Amino acid sequence: MSAEPSKELPLAGIRVLDLSRVLAGPWCTQTLADLGAEVWKIEAPGQGDDTRSWSPPDIGGESTYFLCANRSKESVAVNLKHPEGQRIVRDLARQADVLVENYRLGALEAFGLGYEDLAAINPGLIYCSISGYGRSGPRAAEPGYDFVIQAESGLMSITGEPEGAPIKLGVAITDLVTGMNGVQAILAALLARARNGRGQHIDLALLDGAVSVLANVGAGYLAAGHAPARLGNGHPTVVPYQIFGTRDGSFALAVGNDAQFARLCALLGHPEWSADPGYATNRARVLNRARLIPQLEALFAAENTAHWLERVRAAGIPAGAVRRVDEALNAPEIAARGMIADTADARHGTLRLLRSPLHLRGTPAREPAAPPRLGEHTDAVLARALALDETALASLRGQGAIA
C-alpha cells in the first residue's frame, strides 16, 4: 500500500523578492506564492504598485485590478531612492532565492541592485528581469505596455472581423503570457541550481512572449509564407470552428475532425455532406468555407441555442454557450472545480478571489490569502528576515527609508 502523498506546498522554503509592478511580474510572483513561496512585495511608500490606483471597479476604494495579481504576498514599503532603503533590499536579496523585477533599463543598477551587484553577494540568486523588449536589442530602453505589444506582435492583426479594425484581446494577454513564462523559467532555474548550485539571470520580453503565442499562425508564415488574415470568430485551418447565430442567441461550435463533421451532418439532416468531396475532409472544408458556412448558418438560425447545445453535445461534438463573465464565474463546473475562494480579509470580512488553476494532487497550491495593504508586512518581514528590532525599524521609518 502506497504512502499518502505529501501535502507540503511545492515551493515551501523558497523566498521571492518581488520588485515588480502592474501585471506581468506580479502575475509571475503570485503563481510562485500559490505554489508556496514566501513573496516579499517591495512597494514605494505612500504610492505602492501602480495598479493600487487603477479603478473602477473597486471594493471599498481598493482596486480589483491590484487584487487580481497579488494574493498571498507580503507588502514591504521601502524607499529605493534612499540609501538605507537600497541597503535593506540588498540585505533581503542575500536571503532570497528569486528576485523578479520590471524596472526600466539601468534603474536598479543605479541603486546597486542590478544582477551583477546582487550575484556577487548571493551567487545562488535567480534574477528575473521582465521588460517590453528585453534587456538587449535596439529597443531595450523603451517601456513596454501590453496594448502596444499586442499591436506590434501581430496578435491584433489576426483578431477582429475580416472587414473591421484590428482588435486587442479583452485582457492584457501579453503581460499574462510573460508572467507564465517567468514562472516556467524560474522553476527551470531552480532545478538547474539544485544540480550546479548557481543562480542565473533570466531576461524576458513581452514582445518575445507575444510572438511565441502566434503559434500555428506564426508557423504558417515562417514555414509556408502564408500571410494570415482576420477571420472574426472563425479558425484559419479548421472548419466549421466558430460562433453560429441561433433563433435566440448564439453558440460556439468546434468541429475538430472529419468524424465529428460526419456526426454533425447526420444530426442536421444532411448526411450526404460528409461524403461530398468539397466537405469530406477538413482541408476541403477550409478551401470551401465560403460555400459551407452560409448553409450551416441558415440551419442553426432555425432553432434556439438550448436545442443545438443539447443535440450537438449528445453527438460528442464540442459546443458551448457564449457566456458573459458573470455567467462564466457562476457556472456549476467552475464551482465544482473550486476555482473561487471566499477569503478572509481584515477590512472587508471576506473577499471572493480566484484560486490557482494548478491542481497538484500530492502537493496542492496554498489557499489564497488576501492581497496585502501597502506596507502591511514591513515590520514583520524585516524583523523575520533581517532580525531588525523595534529600535532599528523606528530609526529607518524616521529616516524615510521604510513605511
Catalytic residues: 175
Dihedral of alpha carbons 145, 148, 149, 155, sign: positive
Residues 6+ apart with CB under 8 A from 295: none
Secondary structure element (H or E) that encloses residue 343, with its range = strand 340-345
Amino acid at site 376: E
C-alpha cell at 272: 450526404
β-pairing verdict for 250-254 and 241-245 = antiparallel
d(CA 172, CA 153): 13
Q: Is omega for the bond preceding 123 within 30 degrees of 0, making it cis?
A: no
CA distances from 133 to 100, 102, 334, 351 (A): 16, 11, 36, 36
d(CA 173, CA 110): 31
Quick one: 2 exposed, middle or buried, by C-beta within 10 A (0-12, 13-18, 19+)? exposed
Residues 6+ apart with CB under 8 A from 152: 207, 210
β-pairing verdict for 319-321 and 250-254 = antiparallel
d(CA 217, CA 398): 57
In contact, 196 and 269? CB cutoff 8 Å: no
Range 229-251 burial, b when 16+ CB lie within 10 A, else e: ebbeebbbebbbbbebebeeebb
d(CA 117, CA 93): 10
In contact, 317 and 263? CB cutoff 8 Å: yes
Smallest CA-to-CA distance from 42 within 127, 101, 123, 87 is with 101
